């Protein structure tokens, strides 16, 4: 149970509980929001951990694509475009609707890499691809990244709204401590 592979998930649990405890136990309205934020961050960690593929590189198209069909795997940033789960870029029958990305912009920018054993598996993959142009690349799953981006934006909006409410509560009550507010406006059943 304490295997190193589960380290990420332990972090998730610790952060979640830390955030949740802060949320419940602190009486200061801003501290509650901070706890809420920590709680949300733990969920981001959960998603990113699940999206990682061992030996996978960041999901960005690399290198020049040969003319015949390749599945399109560009990193989708808007949630309404296709959620593409294909991990390897290889000759695959693509359905007629998926367009072929024929530009490989990054290949001009990336330097030639020598496949020496001291490099990471990803860099070794890159080097192989540049040599043969035919090897498969293993990408990390880009879908959780998109989901997390959405969740981060939602978290930002929630925090902003919460803080705006706290500012207005401060103006009305003169304090942001929950117990002092309850003295002024007693909590009804």
Partner 1 sequence: MKESIHHQVILRVVAKILLPYILLFALYVQFHGDFSPGGGFQAGVIFAAGIILYTLIFGIEQAYRAIDPRIFEVLLALGVCLYAGVGVWALVSGGNFLDYSVLAHDPVHGQHLGILLIELGVGLTVTAVMVSIFFAFVSRGGR
Partner 2 sequence: MISQHLPILQIVVPLLAAPLCVLLRQRHAVWAFALGVCWASFGVALALLLRVMNDGPLVYELGGWAAPWGIVYRLDPLGGIVLLIVSGVAALVLVFAPRVLDQEIPADKHYLFFAAFLLCMTGLLGITITGDIFNVFVFLEISSLSAYVLISMGADRRALLAAYRYLVMGTIGSTFILIGIGLAYMMTGTLNMADLAARLGDVHETRTIRAAFAFLTVGVSIKLALFPLHVWLPNAYTYAPSMVTAFLAATATKVSCYLLLRLVFTVFGVPLVFDEMRLAAVFMPLALMAIFVASTVAIFQTNVKRLLAYSSVAQIGYLVLAFGFASQAGVTACVIHLFNHALMKGALFLALGCVAFRIGSVDLEDLRGLGRRMPWIAALIVIGGLNLIGVPLTAGFISKWYLVMAALEQREYWPVAVAMLFSSLLAVAYVWRIVEVLYMQPPRPSDLQSDQREAPVPLSMVAPTTVMTLGTVVLGVYPTFTVQVAQRAAEFLLGVAA
Q: Which residues bind partner 1 (CB under 8 A)?
A: 58, 60-61, 74-75, 77-78, 80-81, 97, 99-102, 105-106, 149, 153, 160, 163-164, 167, 171
For 156, the 3-state DSSP assignment is: helix
Contact call for residue 53 and partner 2 (CB under 8 A): no
Give the interface segment with partner 2, choosing from 61-69, 102-110, 125-133, 150-158 (CB under 8 A): 150-158
Which candidate, 117, 111, 53, places its Cα nearest to that of 87? 53
For 148, the 3-state DSSP assignment is: helix
Which candidate, 68, 42, 60, places its Cα nearest to that of 104? 60
Q: Among 80, 93, 108, 179, which residue interacts with partner 2 (rule: CB under 8 A)?
A: 80
- Which residues are 57's β-sheet partners? 139
Name which of 11 and 20 has its Cβ closer to partner 2: 20
115 close to 135: Cβ distance less than 8 angstroms = no
Contact call for residue 161 and partner 2 (CB under 8 A): yes
Q: Which does 189 bind (CB under 5 to 8 A by kind): partner 1, partner 2, none?
A: partner 2
Contact call for residue 15 and partner 2 (CB under 8 A): no
- CA 73 to CA 50: how far, in whole Å? 19
Contact call for residue 43 and partner 2 (CB under 8 A): yes
């Amino acid at each position: 149970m304490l295997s190193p592979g589960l380290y990420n998930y332990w972090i998730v649990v610790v952060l979640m509980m830390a955030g949740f405890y802060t949320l419940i136990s602190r009486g200061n309205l801003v501290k509650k929001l901070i706890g809420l934020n920590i709680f949300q961050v733990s969920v981001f960690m959960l998603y990113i951990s699940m999206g990682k593929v061992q030996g996978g590189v960041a999901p960005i198209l690399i290198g020049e694509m040969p003319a015949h069909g390749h599945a399109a795997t560009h990193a989708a940033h808007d949630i309404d475009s296709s959620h593409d789960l294909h991990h390897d870029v290889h000759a695959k029958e693509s359905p007629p609707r998926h367009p072929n990305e024929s530009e490989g912009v990054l290949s001009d920018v990336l330097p030639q890499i020598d496949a020496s054993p001291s490099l990471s598996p990803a860099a070794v993959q890159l080097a192989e691809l540049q040599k043969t142009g035919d090897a498969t690349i293993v990408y990390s799953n880009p879908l959780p990244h998109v989901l997390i981006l959405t969740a981060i934006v939602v978290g930002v909006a929630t925090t902003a709204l919460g803080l705006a409410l706290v500012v207005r509560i401060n103006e009305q009550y003169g304090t942001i401590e929950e117990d002092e507010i309850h003295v002024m406006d007693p909590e009804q059943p």
